[in-house]
Amino acid sequence: MKKDMKILVVDDFSTMRRIIKNLLRDLGFTNIDEADDGSTGLPKLQNGNFDFLVTDWNMPGMTGIELLKAVRADENLSSLPVLMVTAESKREQIIEAAQAGVNGYIVKPFTAATLKEKIDKIFERIEATAE
């Protein structure tokens, strides 16, 4: 996992974006951009060479699950690792995100340790399959 990888954080609440950005910075990631929903996030992803997407689910405009599906359907983005960080906590929703190809799922409220653990796990898996 490269510390200089480019990360997009998508959440409609700017306070939550700040929290996630600060936590990522604490983990050593500094190349972070943000968007307030899927419809502003997707063009950034399409034009920006991002290595990792962290997204909320419930957002006005384009939701996180729609963004995830759009990412998986886009041939240039289809293998982008996606971590969902959301208050959506229904089993059906978690299953749906899994089926849509999410790489990790964190329910809010969450801790700094959980974020680190999930990010480590996502990149361990990716590195393991790449070998």
3 binds another protein (CB under 8 A): no
What's the angle, vertex CA 5, arms to CA 117 and CA 53, rounded to 5?
Answer: 65
From 1-9, 13-21, 27-35, 39-47, span contacting another protein (CB under 8 A): 13-21
**Residue of 33, 46, 96, 100 interacting with another protein (CB under 8 A):** 96
Q: Which residues pair with 39 in a beta bridge?
A: none
Nearest Cα to Cα of residue 86 among 78, 74, 98, 94: 94
Q: Which is nearer to another protein, 47 or 113 (CB)?
A: 113
107 binds another protein (CB under 8 A): yes
91 binds another protein (CB under 8 A): yes
Q: Are 112 and 19 in contact (CB under 8 A)?
A: no
Q: Which residues pair with 106 in a beta bridge?
A: 85
Give the phi and the psi of residue 36 in degrees, each rounded to 5: -100, -5
**Residue of 40, 58, 100, 101 interacting with another protein (CB under 8 A):** 58
Q: Which residues bind another protein (CB under 8 A)?
A: 11, 13, 15-16, 18-19, 22-23, 26, 57-59, 63-65, 86-96, 98, 105-112, 114
